[in-house]
Amino acid sequence: MPDLATHFLVNYCVKRGLPHLMPRYFAFSSKELYPFLWGALLPDLFSRAPRIGMGMISQQLSLPYPHFFHHALGYFHQPFGYLLLCFLISQFFPLDTRVSIFKNLFLGGLLHYLLDFCQYHLEPAYMPFFPLSTCRMEWGLFSTEASLYSIPFWLALAAYFFWKVPPSSSDLSSSSLDSSQ
């Protein structure tokens, strides 16, 4: 997987950059930005991170490694399992924001998955159609370490969007409406 910093920066640049480059098709809303950024992190936070924790605990306490939970957690890193996770998380939010939260969590996570899918491993590592198919595949466009070298580029681009690109008119108009009420 690309590291979490790269995932976060890529999601930020895409969410800020698309409305800037194609304002007719993409509107920027800061309310949508945050769930989209969480989407960059959740697939790994719900699968890889607990696996690392389980490995450390089982090693420290000399317990057998819980392989069942290892595989079960991996489901949250696959598109269908992640879709279910987004649905469950969105249920904790007010009714009028659920669809937006769900959509942005999922699209942000899909971008995460797309980046992961572009890497190459010793053998294909991803099952995009699980549980319908256990066929493993990946595009293999760059190595697993390549994301570390790209961080300065994404950092510079994110800084540009953060400081130089103002929010779109739709976001400005909604914030001015909020402040006028």
For 1-62, the DSSP string reads ---HHHHHHHHHHHHHHHHHH-TTT----HHHHHHHHHHHHHHHHTTHHHHHHHHHHHHHTT
Tell me which stretch binds Zn ion (CB under 5 A): 85-93, 95-103, 113-121, 152-160. 113-121
Nearer to Zn ion, 32 or 44 (CB): 44
The SS3 call for residue 126 is: strand
**Closest distance to Zn ion from the beta carbon of 21 (Å):** 26
The SS3 call for residue 91 is: coil
Tell me which stretch binds Zn ion (CB under 5 A): 35-43, 65-73, 100-108, 135-143. 35-43
Q: Residue with the closest Cβ to Zn ion?
A: 1
Of residues 38 through 67, those in contact with Zn ion by CB under 5 A are: 43-44
Tell me which stretch binds Zn ion (CB under 5 A): 8-16, 115-123, 135-143, 166-174. 115-123
Tell me which stretch binds Zn ion (CB under 5 A): 34-42, 114-122, 136-144, 169-177. 114-122
Q: How many CA atoms lie within 13 A of 152 on its CB side?
A: 1
Q: Name the strand (E) or helix (H) holding 97.
A: helix 95-117
**Closest distance to Zn ion from the beta carbon of 50 (Å):** 13
* Residue 1 touching Zn ion (CB under 5 A): yes
* Residue 13 touching Zn ion (CB under 5 A): no
Q: How many CA atoms lie within 13 A of 44 on its CB side?
A: 19
Looking at 90, 116, 126, 154, which residue binds Zn ion (CB under 5 A)? Answer: 116
- The region that residue 96 occupies, defined by phi over 0 for left and psi between -120 and 50 for alpha, beta otherwise, is alpha
Footprint on this chain of Zn ion (rule: CB under 5 A): 1, 43-44, 116
